[in-house]
Amino acid sequence: GLLAKLGEQTYMALMATVRTSPVVHTDDTGWRIDSESAWLWVFATTDGVTFYVIARSRGADVVEAVLGVEFPGGLVSDGLPALDSLPDSYRRAQCLGHLIVRASELASVHKAGAARFPLAVKGFLQEVIALRDRRETLTTATYDRYCRAANQGLDQLLAGHSTVHE
């Protein structure tokens, strides 16, 4: 319609901005179009640009249509399995908040012994987020030292040497 035509130039400019962003966060939620299933997708950049798409698909095709096949930035998502079919050129990361929730859910359904690992993952993620949040208050040397310690802690965690106790 007329409204879509009037907004087309702005819409395309926002999509171009998202396509050139160094990092884009994406997520989707259920939506209805004439009582049929669809999804509202959000693409948010770290510098405050937010781009929305309503699509009948919940697949990688929507992400490729917005970001392009050769997206040069990093894509952060909730781990939606459909995005696993994105081209190998995409640099992907999972949202830490979603990982923390998954770790909590895993810990809650397992007995104490089996809950150790997801609790350790949750604690590690919370610690590195807290470190990131303190970045501006630390000297470069101190921050680097904490980052090295976090890397060592992650190596130990992945090697199965968790410090979480029952």
**pLDDT for res 161:** 56
Q: What is the band of 163 on the pLDDT scale with cuts at 50, 70, 90?
A: low
Identify the pLDDT of residue 102: 87
34 backbone φψ class: left, alpha, beta (φ>0; ψ -120 to 50):
left
The pLDDT value given to residue 98: 86
Report the pLDDT value the prediction gives residue 134, as an integer from 0 to 100.
94
Better-scored residue on pLDDT, 35 or 109 = 35
**How far is residue 54 from each of residues 29, 35, 38, 39, 134, measured CA to CA in Å?**
10, 14, 7, 6, 37
pLDDT digits (tens, 9 = 90+) for 39-84: 999 999 999 999 999 999 999 999 999 999 889 999 999 988 888 8
* pLDDT bucket at 4, cuts 50 / 70 / 90: confident
The pLDDT tens digits of the residues spanning 95-144 come to 888 889 888 988 888 777 778 888 888 999 999 999 999 999 999 999 99
**Chain position carrying tokens 């050129």:** 89
- Phi first, then psi: what are they for 47, rounded to 5°? -100, 20
User: What is the β-pairing status of strands 23-33 and 36-45?
Assistant: antiparallel
